Structure 1
Amino acid sequence: MSRRLPSTAALLALEAAARHQSFAKAAQELSLSEAAISRQIAKLEEFLGMRLFHRVGNRVELSAHGAGYASQIRASLADIERHTLQLIAGSRGITSLEIGVIPTLASRWLIPRLTRFQERHPEIEINLRERTHPFSLEESGLHAAINFDYPIWHTLKVQPLFAEPMVAVCHPRLASQSPQSMPLLHKLASPYTWPRYAVLAGLPLSSDPTGPTYDRYALLIEAAKAGIGMALVPGRYVEEELQGGKLVAPWPAIAELCEHYVLVTRPDMETSSALEKFERWLLEEAKAE
């Protein structure tokens, strides 16, 4: 029985056009003409029998159906690419591991240490995938995740890595500003961290809960370096900035206020030799801290 599938070219055009919200930018990315992208989308819409984009003057906007379909196709294309790269790597005697990781932890802690793993295990390739929120490891296609210790992981194998104390940091020119008047920077997913810090540190911080919010610690750190306000971040993320004088920590450090990082794997998945080696190495690195 023949499969009812659209062409790969049409799906690639959809994914790029949906991501950019522009046929012109999709054409530039795929080295095609804008007219070619438009034709591929038109063929796909005819195949599906529905509009994926609304044409508004010179602009295009995804329809509700188009947005949902594009998201699903993006995930499917990523899976195809991952399986393809794993097959190619396997043909060269290399085992690939897909690891989901918090971006800031990856850039400031994991990646600087990966050369040690590569030197020990040159036959294993570590591919890092950005994950900033809790997610279903079973449905992700990842071998493991390095993330915060969320309750969602309770059915999985969770191995503690380290607990990182939080420190309050700001630009040096703000260091002498009183706690009551200091503008506070907030992490979007942690709205209660500053009130808890105020109680534990015994500081009369501003009772105003409003203030700039940021998705990631990396953005909080950059905002603090720019002098926008005081940020509460894991200490190891700002070691370099503190040593170089780009940031200062004028307020007390509270040992009870920590971020807990864990390695998460699936107990129902057959553990490969490569994953066992990565787990062993990662736990050694965390213990050495």
Structure 2
Amino acid sequence: MRKFKIPNMGALLAFEASARHESFTHAAKELFLTESAISRQIATLESNLGVRLFVRAKQRVVLTRAGRLYSTQVRRALENLDRDTLSIIAHGSGGGYLELAVLPTFASQWLIPRLKDFNDRTPDVRINMGVRTDTFSFEESHFEAAIHYGKPTWPGTSSDYLFGEEVVPICSPSLLSKPIKKPHELLAYPLLHSTTRPDAWTRWLSDLGVEDNSTMQGVRYELHTMLISAAAAGLGVALVPKFFVEGQLKQLGLIIPFEAATVADSAYYLVYPTELSHGKPLELFRTWLLEQASAYKAPKP
């Protein structure tokens, strides 16, 4: 049972707008209220909290340290409430929004280029995307589904296999002093690593019969877009999913110095809390995504 009274929504909205503008006048215009109404809301809020949120200075107001901290917390809470409200509305209709956590390079290189087809087929549903590169708690986030790379071992969720991936080394042609004829020759150059797949080089070279302690050495980048840019800049050789660069090597100023057909043992999955699996936006997106994945991994004629 709560031992204190949560401020009313009107006061919180007045405070958030006033804090963002550091102006009661601008907050009043945004919320279609009078300046005196905003001032009263703030005064009541400060009285209830027992904390001064603004310092009045002539024609303007300035946030106190406590006010600045509280404004950040209130803004985040209002944004979460807005997203949660849109999400719950979506569960009751054929339309709405799906909050999807994505891997950034996967989204930009594979998912988003195909998304117009989904929008054309399902005009009442839109996909909001946010970045998550590791597993997370759905209960503690606003996300309703995620594109996950790894194994389908995410507690409390259901998952659908999308496809695996072939990884290839890439680099700037200016980096190489001579053509690469065997995989171990790549160790003569700096290896660029992904922080989310730290053992990718070790696994790839091991599959090709190369065992060497130096495979873990080299700088690390969190995003594959960074790896691709670093390789193009001549900083070293990166190991990336082939479909991230397929058809763009010349445009990016990259080459594949050594071709080898190796497929990672992990894969891409659509993951979602089991209890949300019947929500209409998720159901429609899931059907479409599985169709797209099936078409992508089908043998090309």
TM-score computed with the length of structure 2 as normaliser? 0.70
| Distance of 2:77 and 2:238 partners within structure 1 | 38
Residue of structure 2 equivalent to 1:145: 146
- 1:161 and 1:263 in contact (8 A); partners too: yes
Q: Report how far residue 85 of structure 1 moved.
A: 5.2
Residue of structure 2 equivalent to 1:3: 6
- 1:158 and 1:263 in contact (8 A); partners too: yes
2:259 to 252, 265, 288: 252
| Distance of 2:52 and 2:237 partners within structure 1 | 48
Matches within 5 A, 1:208-223: 209-223=216-230
Q: Report how far residue 244 of structure 1 moved.
A: 3.4
| Distance of 1:45 and 1:182 partners within structure 2 | 62
Q: Report how far residue 162 of structure 1 moved.
A: 0.5
Q: Report how far residue 203 of structure 1 moved.
A: 4.5
Task: Write the letter of the residue equivalent to 2:223.
Answer: R
- 2:95 and 2:280 in contact (8 A); partners too: no
When the two chains are superposed, the root-mean-square deviation of aligned CA atoms in Å is: 3.9
Task: Write the letter of the residue equivalent to 2:263.
Answer: E
Residue of structure 2 equivalent to 1:22: none
- 2:169 and 2:256 in contact (8 A); partners too: yes
Task: Write the letter of the residue equivalent to 1:121.
Answer: T
Residue of structure 1 equivalent to 2:39: none
Residue of structure 2 equivalent to 1:165: 166
Instruction: State whether structure 2 residue 202 is matched by structure 1 residue 202.
Output: no
Change in CA separation of 1:70 and 1:170 when aligned onto 2, cut-off 3 Å = farther
Task: Write the letter of the residue equivalent to 2:237.
Answer: M
Spell out, residue by residue over 1:21-52, the C-alpha distance to the aligned partner (whole angstroms, 9 max, x if none). Answer: xxxxx86xxx89xxxxxxxxxx9999767899
Task: Write the letter of the residue equivalent to 2:164.
Answer: A
**SS at 2:174's partner residue?**
helix
Q: Report how far residue 170 of structure 1 moved.
A: 0.6
Change in CA separation of 1:266 and 1:245 when aligned onto 2, cut-off 3 Å = closer
Residue of structure 2 equivalent to 1:21: none
Change in CA separation of 1:137 and 1:237 when aligned onto 2, cut-off 3 Å = same
- 1:198 and 1:204 in contact (8 A); partners too: yes
Instruction: State whether structure 2 residue 163 is matched by structure 1 residue 182.
Output: no
Spell out, residue by residue over 1:76-125, the C-alpha distance to the aligned partner (whole angstroms, 9 max, x if none). Answer: 23312324556899999842111111111111011100110111111111
Task: Write the letter of the residue equivalent to 1:223.
Answer: A
- 1:134 and 1:150 in contact (8 A); partners too: no
2:233 to 226, 235, 247: 226
Gap runs ≥5 in structure 2: 28-42, 54-64, 179-184, 297-301
Change in CA separation of 1:73 and 1:233 when aligned onto 2, cut-off 3 Å = farther
Change in CA separation of 1:212 and 1:45 when aligned onto 2, cut-off 3 Å = farther
- 2:95 and 2:281 in contact (8 A); partners too: no
| Distance of 1:244 and 1:71 partners within structure 2 | 42
Matches within 5 A, 1:70-89: 73=74, 75-83=76-84
| Distance of 1:91 and 1:194 partners within structure 2 | 47
| Distance of 2:139 and 2:212 partners within structure 1 | 42
Change in CA separation of 1:136 and 1:242 when aligned onto 2, cut-off 3 Å = same
| Distance of 1:183 and 1:101 partners within structure 2 | 29
Gap runs ≥5 in structure 1: 17-25, 33-42, 53-61
Residue of structure 1 equivalent to 2:286: 279
Q: Report how far residue 175 of structure 1 moved.
A: 3.8
Task: Write the letter of the residue equivalent to 2:172.
Answer: H
Spell out, residue by residue over 1:184-232, the C-alpha distance to the aligned partner (whole angstroms, 9 max, x if none). Answer: 1111122222122222223476716332211111111111111111111
Residue of structure 2 equivalent to 1:23: none
Residue of structure 1 equivalent to 2:137: 136
Instruction: State whether structure 2 residue 269 is matched by structure 1 residue 262.
Output: yes
- 2:164 and 2:263 in contact (8 A); partners too: no
Change in CA separation of 1:92 and 1:159 when aligned onto 2, cut-off 3 Å = closer
Q: Report how far residue 135 of structure 1 moved.
A: 0.6
Task: Write the letter of the residue equivalent to 1:7.
Answer: L
Residue of structure 2 equivalent to 1:56: none
Change in CA separation of 1:218 and 1:254 when aligned onto 2, cut-off 3 Å = same
